[in-house]
A and B are shown apart, each in its own frame.
Chain A
Amino acid sequence: MGKKIMRLSAAARREERWGYLMIAPTIIGLVILNLWPFIQTIYTSFCEHLGFGNYKFIGIDNYVEMFQNPEVWRATWNTILFCILTVPVGLFLSLLVAMMLNAKIKGKGLFRTIFFLPMVCAPAAVTMVWRWIFNSDYGILNQLLGTHINWITDSHFVMIACAIVAIWSNIGYDAVLLLAGLQNISKSYYEAAEIDGTSKVNQFLQITLPMVSPTLFVVMIMRLMSSVKVYDLIYMMVEDTNPALTSVQSLMYLFYRETFVAGSRGSGAAIVVWTVVLIGIITIIQFVGQKKWVNYDV
C-alpha cells in the first residue's frame, strides 16, 4: 500500500517537473519582458529622468504636475471622445453588415473578403491613402462634396476624420466576429416567430439582439480597449507639427511624445499609469453595465 502511494507521487512529481520545464520559457520571458518592466514603469513614474538612464526619486511630483497639465486632460478627453465616436457607430455598422451577410445572398465570401481587407493592411499604409483622400486642396473627398474643409488641420474636423478611418478599418473584423455569433442562433426561433406573425423589427429586438448580446459584449470590450490605446492611426494622420494636434492627440500619442521625443520619461510613465487606471475604470463600468443588457441564459 505504502509502496503504491510512493509510486504515484513519483509519477506526480515527474509530471510536475515536466510542467515547470514546459512553462519555463514563457514564464521567464514574461517576468523579464513584462513583469519587471511593469514594476519599472511604475517606479519611473515617481522619478525624474536625469539623462543617460539615470533617475532621481521625486515622489508624486509627476502625478501632481500631470493633473495640472491641461494637455493631459485634453488628451484624456480626446481618448474618451474617440471611443464615443468610433465604438457605438462602428458596432452598429458591423452588426448591420453581419446581419446582411447572414441573410441568404450570393457572393457572401467576396463581400466578407472585401470588408475584412483593411485588417491585413498595416495602419501606416492605410492612413497614408486616407490623408490623400482628406487632403484639403486636392483630396477627392472635398472635390466630391464641393467643399474646402481642412479635414486634417482644422481642429473641428480632425477628430471626425480619424474616427472615420478607425471605423472603416475595423468594420470587417467586428462584422466577422458578430457573424459567428449570429450563425449560432438556431433557425427554429425565427421559424416560430414567423408562424406567430412577429414583425422583422420585433424579431430583431426579441431574438437577434438578446441572442447575439454575449458576442456583442465581447466585441465591444475588445474594441473599447483598443480604442483607449489608440496611437498608430492618429500618429500617422496627424504629425506633431500639425496645428490641430491638441484636438486629436490621444493619451498614448502624448505618452510617445513625452517619453521618446521630449525625453521626460517620468511624466511619460505617469501618463501610461493614468491610462491603465482609465482602462480599469472603463472595464469595471462595462462589467457592471452588462448585467442590464447581456443575456447569458441561452
Chain B
Amino acid sequence: MKQSSMRNMKRLTTILTYVFLILGAVIMIFPFVWMILTSFKTQTESMQIPPVIFPSQWNLDNFVDAVASLPFVNMYVNTALMILFRVICAVVFSSMAGYAFAKLKFRGKNILFALILVQMSLPSQIFILPQYQMVAKLGMANSIFALVFPGIVSAFGTFFLRQTYMGIPNEIGEAACLDGCNQFETFIKVMFPLTGTSVAALTIFTAVFAYGDLMWPLVVNSDLNMMTLSSGLATLRGQFSTNFPVLMAGSLLAMLPMVILYMIFQRQFIEGIANTGGK
C-alpha cells in the first residue's frame, strides 16, 4: 500500500516537472516565435484584433524595408571585426599575462594583480567618458578601432586564464623543457596548447559580451555606417516606432548570426559562458 502510494508520488513529481519545464520552455521560446511570425506579416495584419497568428502570406517586404533603412552589411562587418579584434587581443594578451601571473616569480606581482581585480569590480561606465575623450582626441571616433578600444586588454580574461594556468602542474612545463628552453618557449610550446577549453570559453564570452554591448558603440560611433548591430537597432527603434513588422525583421536579422553559431556550438557556448561566469 505504502509502496504504491510512493510510486504514485514519484510519478506525479515527474509529470509536474515535465509540465513546468514545458511551460517554462514555451514562455522562453514564445518571444522568438512571435518575432519571426510578426516579421512576415504586413503592418495591418500585425494590428488586427483579434490577432492573427500566422501571416496570410510569407512575404519578405519587411526585411527589404529594414535593409533599406539600415546599412545591415556594414553593421555585420563592423560587429564581426569588433568581435574578431577584441577576441584576438583578449586571447593573446590575457594568455601571456595569465601565464606570467600564475607561473612566474617577479617583484610587485601582487600589487599588479590587484590592479586587475580592482578593474573587474568597477562598472565599465566609470571609464567610458575618459575613454571616449581619448578616442575623440586621437580623431578615431567612427572607426573599427574605436569599437575595439576598451576591449584591447581584458582584466577578466587575465584573471580567468590565470586560474587555468594555476591548475596546470609546474612539472609539465619543467619536464617538457628539461634541456633549457626559456620561459616564453615553455609558455608557447607546452602550456598554451593545454588551455584550449579555457581559451574557447574566453572567446565565446568576449564575443557574446561585445555583441550585446550597447552604450559604448552608441557613444563612440554616431555615423550610421560605423554602427554595430546593437547600436544600429537602437536607431531603427526611433525610425519605425509603430511599424513592428519592420522592427521584428530588423531584430531578427541582427540576432540571426549569433543564434546560428549558438545552434551549432551549443555545448561550447553554454559551458563556456557558465565556466567564465562561475569563477
List A residues at the B interface (Cβ < 8 Å): 12, 14-16, 18-23, 25-27, 29-38, 40-41, 44, 53, 96-97, 100-101, 103-105, 109, 111-126, 128-133, 135, 137-138, 140, 143, 168, 171-173, 176-177, 180, 200, 215, 218, 222, 228-229, 231-232, 235-236, 239, 252, 255-256, 259-260, 265, 268-269, 272-273, 275-276, 279, 283
Q: Which of B18, B46, B136 has the most chain A CB within a 10 Å cutoff?
A: B18
Q: Which residues of A contact B60 (CB under 8 A)?
A: none
Contact partners of B139 in chain A: CB under 8 A: none
CA distance A18 to B104 in the complex (A): 8
- Among residues of B, the one whose C-beta sits closest to the C-beta of A26 is B97
Specify the main secondary structure of chain A where it touches its partner. helix
Query: A171-B28, A239-B238 are known contacts. Are A25 and B50 too (CB-CB below 8 A)?
Result: no
Complex: how many Å from CA A283 to CA B261?
Answer: 36
Contact A138 B278 (CB under 8 A): no
In the bound complex, do residue B97 and residue A18 qualify as a contact, i.e. CB atoms below 8 Å apart? no
A22 to B112, CA, bound (A): 13
Chain B min CB distance to A35 (Å): 7
* A-B interface, 3 closest residue pairs, ranked by CB to CB distance from nearest: A29-B153, A19-B106, A37-B130
A132 contacts B233, CB within 8 Å? no
What's the least CB distance linking B193 to chain A, in Å? Answer: 17
Chain B nearest CB, measured from A93 CB (Å): 8
Residues of B within 8 A of A279 (CB): 121, 123
Name 27 interchain pairs, CB-CB below 8 A, sorted by A. Answer: A19-B104, A20-B106, A21-B184, A22-B96, A29-B93, A30-B155, A33-B131, A37-B126, A38-B127, A116-B269, A116-B270, A117-B28, A119-B273, A120-B208, A123-B230, A126-B251, A128-B237, A130-B31, A131-B237, A132-B35, A135-B244, A138-B244, A173-B273, A255-B125, A259-B129, A273-B126, A276-B122
Give chain B interface residues in 63-107, CB to chain A under 8 Å: 92-94, 96-97, 99-101, 104-107
B229 touches A122 (CB 8 A): yes
Complex interface: stretch among B167-175, B195-203, B209-217: B209-217
Q: Which B residues touch A131, using CB under 8 A?
A: 237, 247
Complex formed: what's the CA distance from A37 to B119 in Å?
11
For B258, give its contact among A20, A122, A172, A229 (CB under 8 Å). Answer: A122
Which of A23, A101, A122 contacts B112 (CB under 8 A)?
A23
Asked if B189 lies at the interface with its beta carbon under 8 angstroms from chain A, I say no
Q: Which residues of B line the A interface, CB within 8 A? A: 13-14, 17-18, 20-21, 24-25, 27-29, 31-32, 34-35, 38, 46-47, 49-51, 92-94, 96-97, 99-101, 104-107, 109, 112, 115-116, 119, 121-131, 133-134, 136-137, 149-150, 152-155, 158, 182-184, 187, 208, 211-215, 218-219, 229-231, 233-234, 237-238, 244, 247-248, 250-252, 254-255, 258-259, 261-262, 266, 269-270, 273-274, 277-278
Determine whether the beta carbon of A40 is less than 8 Å from that of B51. Answer: no
Q: Given A22-B96, A34-B119, A231-B214: A236 and B106 within 8 A (CB)?
A: no
Contacts between chains A and B (CB distance < 8 A), count: 281
- Residue numbers in B under 8 Å from A44 (CB-CB): 129-130
**Cβ of A40: which chain B residues have Cβ within 8 Å of it?**
129-130, 133
Q: Is the CB of B104 within 8 A of A117?
A: no
Smallest Cβ-Cβ distance to B36: which chain A residue: A129
Residue of A nearest to B105 (CB): A15
Partner of A269, one of B18, B129, B229, B274: B129
Expressed in whole angstroms, the Cα–Cα distance for A173 and B96 within the complex equals: 29
- Measured CB to CB, the closest approach of chain A to B150, in angstroms, equals 6
| Contact A265-B129, Cβ < 8 Å, known A22-B99, A176-B270, A252-B123 | yes
List chain B residues, Cβ under 8 A from A276: 122-123, 126
* CA–CA, A73 and B267, complex, Å: 43
Q: Could you tell me the dominant secondary structure of chain B's interface residues?
A: helix
Would you call A132 and B129 a contact (CB within 8 A)?
no
Contact status B51-A115, CB under 8 Å: no
Pick the contact of B127: A41, A115, A180, A265 (CB < 8 A).
Answer: A41
**CB distance A132 to B248 under 8 Å?**
yes
Q: How far is the CA of A12 from the CA of B254 in the complex (A)?
A: 52
* Separation of A194 and B208 alpha carbons in the complex (Å): 43
A14 vs B105: C-alpha distance when bound (angstroms): 10
> Contacts A100-B21, A255-B125 hold; do A143 and B50 have CB atoms under 8 A apart?
yes
CB–CB B129/A30 < 8 A:
no
Q: How far is the CA of A84 from the CA of B66 in the complex (A)?
A: 37
Residues of A within 8 A of B184 (CB): 18, 21-22
A126 touching B31 in the complex, CB below 8 Å, given contacts A38-B122, A41-B126, A119-B208: yes
Taking the closest CB of chain B, its distance from the CB of A13, in whole angstroms, is: 10
- Residues of A within 8 Å of B29, CB to CB, are 114, 117
Q: Once the chains bind, are A27 and B112 in contact (CB under 8 Å)? A: yes
Please tell me if the beta carbons of B255 and A18 are within 8 angstroms of each other in the complex: no
Other-chain contact of A138, B49, B137, B238 (Cβ < 8 Å): B49
Q: Is the CB of A113 within 8 A of B270?
A: yes
| In contact, A122 and B155 (Cβ under 8 angstroms) | no
Across the interface, do A133 and B18 meet the contact criterion of CB distance under 8 Å?
no
Known: A133-B34, A176-B274, A231-B215. A124 touches B233 (CB 8 A): yes
